[in-house]
Structure 1
């Protein structure tokens, strides 16, 4: 197996934990190299059909530039289902217990205690031209913190406020292995991805582009 270079020790000014808002924190280089490799390999398998990687269509007739697949519950604008209702109609792939546990561990690393089980993974793939407009993760019933893991190329992430899509906001570069968690008063903060910086990911991942794994607690029962 290829071994990732640990770039954190080569930084002239090592990146440090940063508070983005109340209950929101950026933890650089949180994922160990072997965890990054495992996640990329898993995403390649999950992205295959059925219920694989798709381009999400918006209600206005447009399309998101980042492509997406889901685990546990399938997200579509603006709701959840157990099947890919806006795609091939296949049942959504299950949420692996080890990924749910990774979500819990990430939330705790950011200072949050979570009693519920992470049961949703939204995985977005960004190529060099993809973006994500400012939005809120507001389709869940649970208020448990959102966990966001970055893999591959660096993305410029904008973390805003709960009231508007405009200022105040903070822009931060998210590199491969970085973790962002937002909960509490920042659970419904607007956020987005401004751009991708091509060729910046660890070569050992074999990934051209950026993967973002967003873990959430639905708060749903099967009967919703």
Structure 2
């Protein structure tokens, strides 16, 4: 956002959890939005996720590389279609993100992504990303509307936690001691997407190394 009274800067929110504001430029954001629209098409496209307990997630999702079924991974979607391939350029993006967040050598090869779409009413409850067998950091990229992102601790869904604003283009990486921290999205701020992005709502790409045998 231009004209900030206090410009945002790289921040370590917790050990191993790093926010890099405005990491994606405008062109790269537009390219990713266009790619997400392609990935959302059927077959193996955007879906509503139902949990084993009968709940329904309000954020819609498409998977790349591995298909997430609460709470495990498979190579086929809910209707039996093969999951879409994980694009190599997202693996390159994950490596760049780690360098920006940690300034360290590349981690294991990233092989999957979950793309979540939030409309104005969507939420994500506090949860851990723990189905992966790799402890490589999770790379999170935000596009479109700003969200309130709640980043907690590794023991409980409740306090202590930190509420952050994640804006379009922001990078958030969490690994090391924070790899299994509970996190969620309690609120979307409608109408905050960049005007030239052509997106209403929020897209979140989380890039992961599954550690699973292909």
> TM-score, length-normalised on structure 2?
0.97
Map 1:185-200 onto structure 2 (within 5 A).
Answer: 185-200=177-192
Map 1:65-104 onto structure 2 (within 5 A).
Answer: 65-84=58-77, 87-104=78-95
Query: Using the alignment, how far apart are the partners of 1:115 and 1:52 within structure 2?
Result: 29
**Structure 1 stretches (4+) deviating beyond 4 angstroms?**
none
Match for residue 160 of structure 2 among 159, 162, 168: 168
1:157/1:172 contact within 8 Å kept: yes
Match for residue 199 of structure 2 among 194, 198, 207: 207
SS of 2:120's equivalent in the other structure is coil
Query: Using the alignment, how far apart are the partners of 1:76 and 1:147 within structure 2?
Result: 20
- Structure 2's unaligned 5+ residue stretches are none
Name 1:20's counterpart in structure 2. 13
Map 1:1-224 onto structure 2 (within 5 A).
Answer: 7=1, 9-84=2-77, 87-111=78-102, 112-222=104-214
Per the TM alignment, residue 162 of structure 1 is displaced from its structure 2 partner at its CA by 0.4
Per the TM alignment, residue 10 of structure 1 is displaced from its structure 2 partner at its CA by 2.4
Query: Using the alignment, how far apart are the partners of 1:109 and 1:143 within structure 2?
Result: 19
Query: Using the alignment, how far apart are the partners of 1:139 and 1:157 within structure 2?
Result: 21
Query: Using the alignment, how far apart are the partners of 1:76 and 1:61 within structure 2?
Result: 13
> TM-score, length-normalised on structure 1?
0.93
CA RMSD, 1 decimal:
0.9
State the Cα deviation string for residues 79-104 of structure 1 (Å, max 9, x = none).
001110xx222101111111111011
State the Cα deviation string for residues 84-126 of structure 1 (Å, max 9, x = none).
0xx2221011111111110111012110533311101000000
Query: Using the alignment, how far apart are the partners of 1:122 and 1:65 within structure 2?
Result: 15
- Structure 1's unaligned 5+ residue stretches are 1-6
Per the TM alignment, residue 206 of structure 1 is displaced from its structure 2 partner at its CA by 1.0
Per the TM alignment, residue 62 of structure 1 is displaced from its structure 2 partner at its CA by 1.2
User: How many pairs align?
Assistant: 213
